[in-house]
Homo-oligomer: A and B are copies of this chain.
Amino acid sequence: MEFETIARNICQVYFPLSKECLLDAAQNSTILHAEKNTILVREGQYADTTYYLYEGCARAYYLKDGKDITDWFSFEGNFICSINSFFQNIPSPHYIEVLSPAILLAMDRESFLRLSDKHRDFDRLGKYVVTQTMLRLQQRIVSVQFETARQKYENLLKINPDITLRVPLMHIASYLGITLETLSRIRGSHKRI
């Protein structure tokens, strides 16, 4: 895998970046090939790296009273990092795990900040991603707070129809804030229509 391919992909998914910016980015990022179940970030680490998923999917999760709670999914074309750690420079409350063989572009915070300062278009991309994330989180609060378990599941399917094929149901359940059993029952009653 070459940097240029991934760069072209980013420019296509988001928006074009200048040549200088890409050149600079190439020298400050690393391409990673990760196996399924690779842990990219562990709880407690200062997770100062952000990842672009060129291929594959990943999740952020944390442990609440020993239970594994999925907080975020990312698929190809998305970025993923421990936002708390990355943006506040504190130990990460999250783990980040790759859910399928993946190709990632990794950049550390220092480079990220330097490039943001130096290249206006890079800065704009960062701002855009953060803004989109904010809007997605806001939507999710509405969903989590006032929808039934069934509505939450159907909503997720609307946005992400094939997620059940790519992610174990237990992760989907905890992401939706319901138990695996409830999700199973919803799916059970759903099929036979």
Contact = CB atoms under 8 A, between A and B. Distances in A.
Interface of A: 62, 64, 69, 71, 83-84, 87-88, 123, 126-127, 130-131, 133-135, 137-138, 140-142, 144-146, 177
Contact of A123 (B87, B123, B146, B177): B123
A134 B64 contact: no
A138 B137 contact: yes
Contacts of A137: 134, 137-138, 141
A127 B144 CA distance: 26
A156 to B, nearest CB: 14
With most chain B CB atoms within 10 A of its CB, the pick from A130, A138, A142 is A138
A71 B142 CA distance: 8
Given A126-B127, A127-B126, A131-B130, A138 B177 contact: no
Nearest to A72: B138
